A and B are shown apart, each in its own frame.
Chain A
Amino acid sequence: MTIIDAIKIAFRSIYANRLRSLLTALGMIIGVASVIALIAIGQGTQQGVKQEIMGLGSNLIFIQPGSSTDQSTGSKGGRGSSTTLVLSDVDAIMDAEIDGLYGASGQINFPAQAIGGGNNDRVDVVAVDAEYAYVRDLNMEYGSFISDNDVTRKAMNIVLGHAIADSLFPTGDPIGENVRINLGSRFGFNFRVIGVLSESGGQNVQDASVYIPIPSLMNRLRFLKNPTGGTTIQQISIKIDENVDEVVIKSELEDVLMMEHAVLEPDFIINSQNDLVSAASAVSKTLSILLGSIAGISLIVGGIGVMNIMLVSVTERTREIGIRRAVGALSKDIRLQFISEALVVTIGAGIIGVIVGLTIAIVINGRVIAGQQMITVIELWSVLVAFGVSSIVGLISGSYPAHRASMLDPIVALRSD
Chain B
Amino acid sequence: MIELSKISKDYYTEAGTVHALRNIDVKIQSGEFVAIMGQSGSGKSTMLNILGCLDQPTTGQYSLDGINVGDKNDTYRSILRREKFGFVFQSYNLVPRLTAVEQVELPLIYQGASNKREIALEALARLNLDDRAHHFPQQLSGGQQQRVAIARSLVVQPQVVFADEPTGALDTQSGKDIMKIFSELSDEGITIVLITHEQHIADQSSRILEMSDGQLVFDSLHGRNSL
Interface residues of A (CB under 8 A from B): 1-2, 5, 9, 12-13, 16, 319-320, 322-333, 410-411, 414
Contacts and interface: CB of A to CB of B under 8 A. Distances in A.
Nearest to A406: B74
Interface in B85-117: 87, 89, 93-98, 106-107, 109-112
A328 B83 contact: yes
Nearest to B102: A12
B95 A329 contact: no
Given A1-B112, A2-B112, A320 B95 contact: yes
Q: How big is chain B's contact interface, by range?
A: 20 to 34
Given A331-B78, A411-B49, A411-B54, A326 B87 contact: yes
Contacts of A319: 93
B95 A323 contact: yes
Interface in B45-95: 49, 52, 54-55, 74-75, 78-79, 81-83, 87, 89, 93-95
B64 to A, nearest CB: 15
A212 to B, nearest CB: 79
Nearest to A6: B109
Contacts of B79: 328, 330
B111 A326 contact: no
B110 A327 contact: yes
Given A1-B112, A324-B106, A410-B54, A330 B95 contact: no
Nearest to B105: A5
19 contacts: A5-B109, A12-B97, A12-B98, A16-B97, A323-B95, A323-B106, A326-B81, A326-B87, A327-B110, A328-B81, A328-B156, A329-B82, A330-B75, A330-B110, A331-B74, A411-B49, A414-B54, A414-B89, A414-B93
B152 interface: yes
B213 to A, nearest CB: 21
A327 B106 contact: yes
B55 A328 contact: no
A399 B54 CA distance: 25
Contacts of B152: 327
A329 B78 contact: yes
A327 B107 contact: yes
Contacts of B89: 414
A329 B106 CA distance: 9
B97 A333 contact: no
